[in-house]
């Protein structure tokens, strides 16, 4: 690939984030493919740890004002520097139209951040690319219009399912300064977004896939003695379904020796721990908190079953195709999940893993069945690994994305 490329401004919600390894993986791969990247983050990092992937990225990282009142001079300078630009007035009109339908501080902040971004982007920046269709794409869209640049966006899960249709539709229309392209990581999401675009080919399904070079070869064998070790990795939020999993664990019979390890942070942690205590299963649970990727991989290698009981949250939020399922498959770890969103695009139940209803009774039955059948666990894990290596590696998606990014710089 040609190394001499215009600079690409990449707008992300926060950098770095432990829960967004798929973004870090993609950006490292794009950089290694010859893209000249500059990261613009809407928020400062809150995670205390980082992944080795973050250290591999060479691109400079710039932080926009997280709250406008904290950097009033910078925001004012941003507005003043954009005033002479014809695109500023078009962006202002677009933002006012959006503001009338979304009278929130977040919407105001989006425009202020866009003004700073448009003012401070280096002159050799050729285009913009946002990760997530909601706030990052809004900031990108306004700034691109101010600077008369093309922009693209990658949509994932929450940003698709919790954003209003009017906003998604207008971000996919050429007549409303929409994205040149939108990449999304699930067929389920792609079909929804194609129905909102002015032309369906504006939307392309690009699976993140997995860079197996970041992972060790899977263990040759797993221990069969001792408790059956269940492992979950994910934020303690409603859509991950861990409350149902805790109830399910309490339904497992006393004759089954088991232990559950959970990795991840999240706002519902205290409530979940309290519920586990009420159910008298706390001594069988280890809450590890947020961990970096080497720690996650090590946990996968010493576990027996990976459990992710995803569901649709009350606000419509849901998973897409969680990369952590592919990471579990990379270590030949048997997978138990649910048929939510795009998970069945990777896991065919009974072949590559088990997809259960998220009802606690159904989850408990599935866990018990898997726990008692070592041969089944091994067969499902082997099949998932084969599916991963044949259909869900990272490289093909990077080729697709590289082709789409090229359209941002086309004459």
Q: Which of 52-56, 124-128, 153-157, 354-358 has the lowest mean pLDDT?
A: 52-56
pLDDT at 4: 65
Residue 2 lies in a domain: no
CA distance 358 to 55: 37
Instruction: Judge if 156 and 293 occupy the same domain.
Output: no
Instruction: Give pLDDT, residue 91.
Output: 98
Is residue 199 domain-shared with residue 246, that is, in the same domain?
no
Do 314 and 398 fall within a single domain?
no
CB atoms within 10 A of CB 275: 17
Domain-embedded: residue 343: yes
Express each pLDDT in 13-54 by its tens digit. Answer: 999 998 899 999 999 999 999 999 999 999 998 888 899 899
Q: What is the pTM (predicted TM-score) of this model?
A: 0.92
Q: Which residues contact 108 (CB under 8 A, 6 or more apart)?
A: 68, 99
Lowest mean pLDDT, pick from 1-5, 97-101, 138-142, 164-168: 1-5
Q: Is the same domain home to 47 and 162?
A: yes
pLDDT at 336 over 70: yes
Any idea what the CATH number is for the domain that residue 239 is in? Answer: 3.40.50.2000
Please state the rounded mean pLDDT for residues 376-381. 97
Say what percent of the chain tops pLDDT 70: 99
Q: What is the pLDDT of residues 53-80, one digit of tens each?
A: 999 999 999 999 999 999 999 999 999 9
Tell me: do 159 and 197 sit in the same domain. yes
pLDDT at 2 over 70: no
What is the token pair recorded at 48?
């205390």
How many domains does the chain contain in total?
A: 2
Question: Both 180 and 42 in a single domain?
Answer: yes
In the chain, what percentage of residues exceed pLDDT 90?
94
Tokens in use for 1? 């690939």
Residue 33 located in a structural domain: yes
Q: Are residues 324 and 402 in the same domain?
A: no
What is the layout of strands, in order, in the sheet containing 151-155?
Answer: 61-63, 36-43, 7-14, 125-131, 151-155, 181-184, 203-205
Examine the domain organization and report whether 147 and 161 are in the same domain: yes
Dist CA 304 CA 236 (whole Å): 21
Asked if residue 48 is part of any domain, the answer here is: yes
Are residue 304 and residue 188 in the same domain, yes or no? no
- The predicted pLDDT at position 222 comes to 86
226-259 tens-digit pLDDT: 899 999 999 999 999 999 999 999 999 999 999 9
Strand partners of residue 154: 131, 183
Burial zone of 251 (CB within 10 Å; 0-12 exposed, 13-18 middle, 19+ buried): middle
For residue 411, the model assigns a pLDDT of 74
Q: Lowest mean pLDDT: which of 48-57, 94-103, 256-265, 357-366?
A: 48-57
Mean pLDDT, range 149-163, rounded to an integer: 96
* Pair (291, 370) in one structural domain: yes
Asked whether residue 252 is domain-assigned, the answer is yes
User: What domain range is 405 assigned to?
Assistant: 7-209+393-409
- Same domain for 184 and 221, yes or no, is no
pLDDT beyond 50 at 294: yes
> Which residues are CB-neighbours of 4 under 8 A, at least 6 positions away?
none
Residue 1 lies in a domain: no
190 located within any domain = yes
Please check whether residue 76 lies inside any domain of the structure.
yes
Residues 193 and 230 in one domain: no
């Amino acid at each position: 690939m040609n190394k001499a490329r215009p600079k690409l401004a990449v707008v992300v919600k926060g950098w770095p984030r432990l829960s967004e390894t798929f973004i870090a993986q993609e950006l490292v791969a794009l950089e290694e493919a010859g893209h000249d990247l500059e990261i613009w983050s809407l928020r400062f990092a809150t995670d205390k740890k980082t992944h080795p992937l973050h250290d591999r990225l060479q691109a400079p990282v710039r932080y926009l004002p997280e709250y406008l009142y904290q950097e009033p001079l910078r925001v004012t300078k941003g507005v003043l520097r954009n005033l002479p630009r014809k695109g500023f007035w078009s962006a202002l009109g677009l933002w006012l139209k959006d503001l009338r339908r979304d009278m929130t501080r977040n919407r105001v902040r989006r425009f202020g951040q866009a003004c700073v971004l448009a003012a401070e982007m280096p002159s050799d920046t050729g285009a913009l690319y946002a990760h997530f269709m909601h706030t990052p794409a809004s900031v990108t869209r306004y700034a691109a219009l101010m600077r008369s640049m093309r922009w693209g966006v990658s949509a994932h899960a929450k940003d698709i399912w919790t954003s209003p249709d009017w906003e998604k539709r207008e971000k996919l229309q050429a007549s409303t300064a929409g994205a040149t392209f939108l990449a999304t990581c699930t067929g389920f999401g792609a079909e929804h977004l194609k129905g909102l675009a002015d032309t369906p080919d504006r939307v392309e399904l690009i699976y993140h896939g997995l860079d197996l070079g970041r992972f060790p070869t899977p263990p040759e064998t797993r221990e069969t003695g001792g408790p059956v070790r269940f492992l979950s990795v994910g934020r303690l939020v409603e859509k991950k379904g861990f409350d149902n999993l805790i109830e399910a664990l309490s339904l497992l019979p006393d004759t089954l020796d088991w232990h559950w390890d959970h990795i991840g942070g999240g706002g519902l942690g205290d409530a979940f721990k309290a519920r586990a205590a009420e159910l008298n299963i706390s001594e069988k649970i280890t809450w590890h908190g947020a961990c970096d990727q080497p720690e996650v991989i090590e946990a996968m290698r010493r576990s027996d079953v990976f459990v992710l009981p995803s569901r649709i949250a009350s606000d419509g939020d849901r998973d897409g195709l969680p990369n952590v399922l592919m990471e579990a498959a990379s270590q030949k770890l048997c997978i138990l999940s649910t048929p939510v969103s795009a998970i069945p695009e990777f896991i065919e139940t009974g072949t590559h893993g088990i997809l259960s209803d998220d009802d606690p009774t159904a989850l408990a039955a599935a866990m018990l069945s898997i726990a008692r059948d070592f041969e089944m666990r091994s067969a499902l894990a082997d099949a998932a690994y084969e599916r991963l290596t044949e259909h869900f590696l990272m490289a093909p998606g990077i080729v697709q994305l590289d082709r789409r990014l090229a359209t941002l710089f086309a004459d």
